[in-house]
Amino acid sequence: MNKNIAVIRGDGIGPEIVNEALKVLDKVAELYGHTFNYVDVDMGGVAIDKWGDPLPQEMLERCVNSDSVLLGAVGGNKWNDVPGYMRPEKGLLRLRAGMGVYSNNRPAKIWPQLASASPLKESIVQKGIDFIIVRELIGGIYFGEHKTETVDGQSVATDILTYNEEEIERIGRIGFETALKRGKKLCSVEKSNVLDSSRLWKKVMHRLQEEYPEVELSDMLVDNCAMQIVKNPAQFDVIVTENMFGDILSDEASMITGSIGMIPSSSLGNSSCGLYEPIHGSAPDIAGKDIANPIGTILSAAMMLKYSFDMAEEADAIEKAVSVALDQGFRTADIMQEGDNLTLVGCSEMGKAIRNNIKR
């Protein structure tokens, strides 16, 4: 297959981690007979310096016209004082809007080799944690009307939570499609004992399920879900939920895995062109030192293969290579632990260890 990938290296550790991910993709291309063409895109601080704009229109078009986008991270202290509309993060918001992505998908996976980094008890971690949260990204209370007024001499603040059937259905589909590519279990999380928007959510999810008979659908109230994520996370395969619940639950889920440098994410819309990026930022404190963990970005590239390019086997080969590199004892500083047979490596050495373990 021939695919065009828009590559945003961005700022801070962005260029270092993205370079390792591209070398991994090159290895996959070589082994599986694919061609990946990389189209460079300037976004964030680097684009402000070069073009006076965090995401010039031409750069956005390169992304929209590609088969998918791989992003490192943007931002840094250097651009803290630029006007709000010019901030590096504005480039990211404009990119998401321009690509029309409305779902954010974040896996929570504990690698057995790093289990001790999890704040959860060993007995819970041992059952295995490997699920993904599909969060609605551009609707709900964050995008409803917000107002503060004075009523009877006191301030009254209101935020409106609205979802229509179409918005729920399209995120529901991403949930079902994601479950189809994984363990075929989907848990729809809402607060239908209290909220009308949640009752509609639940109704639409169940209607959709008729189109996906292979997927086992369950419902869970959000407060229970917050408890279950720490009590028995092994029960989950895919969770689908609305914007605010997803915001909170996905941060909770990333905490239980123990290392921010290991977690990839994807953002998807109606087309197969997705945005793939690690969940961490540009880590200016360690930029340029070749010590960043590239695994979150490498796993983001694996997600791209699986969810945008239908290359599940290739994605699995990358995940397996990460696992083998960890088995071999390679650790970047952020995941280094006490113990024998562990080797502290930098970003480029970790990338190389993973590349060397990709097998067909």
Active site residues: 142, 191, 223, 247, 251
Among residues 220, 283, 302, 326, the one that binds ligand NAD under rule CB under 6 A:
283
Among residues 267, 293, 300, 357, the one that binds ligand NAD under rule CB under 6 A:
293
The answer to whether 74 contacts ligand NAD (rule: CB under 6 A) is yes
Least distance to ligand NAD from the beta carbon of 197, Å?
A: 28
Least distance to ligand NAD from the beta carbon of 282, Å?
A: 4
Length of the chain: 360
Any alpha helices (H) in 34-110, and if so which ranges? Answer: 45-51, 57-64, 88-99
Residue with tokens 């073009």: 51
Residues in contact with 145: Cβ distance below 8 Å, sequence separation at least 6, in sequence order: 158, 159, 160
Tell me the one-letter amino acid at 292.
Answer: A
The answer to whether 49 contacts ligand NAD (rule: CB under 6 A) is no
Among residues 18, 47, 70, 73, the one that binds ligand NAD under rule CB under 6 A:
73
- Give the integer Cα–Cα distance in Å for 84 and 315: 38
Q: How many CB atoms lie within 10 A of CB 23?
A: 16
Phi then psi dihedrals of residue 61, to 5 deg: -65, -35
What the block records as the tokens of 50 is: 């070069």
Among residues 138, 180, 260, 312, the one that binds ligand NAD under rule CB under 6 A:
260
Beta-bridge partners for 276: 70, 266
The answer to whether 75 contacts ligand NAD (rule: CB under 6 A) is yes
- Give the integer Cα–Cα distance in Å for 277 and 189: 24
Tell me the one-letter amino acid at 48.
Answer: I
The answer to whether 250 contacts ligand NAD (rule: CB under 6 A) is no
Least distance to ligand NAD from the beta carbon of 331, Å?
A: 11
Residue span binding ligand NAD (CB under 6 A) among the ranges 69-77, 136-144, 210-218, 351-359: 69-77
The answer to whether 274 contacts ligand NAD (rule: CB under 6 A) is no
The answer to whether 21 contacts ligand NAD (rule: CB under 6 A) is no
Phi then psi dihedrals of residue 152, to 5 deg: 50, 40
Residue span binding ligand NAD (CB under 6 A) among the ranges 74-82, 152-160, 186-194, 300-308: 74-82
Residues that bind ligand NAD (CB under 6 A): 13, 17, 73-76, 89, 92, 260-261, 277, 280-286, 292-293, 296, 334
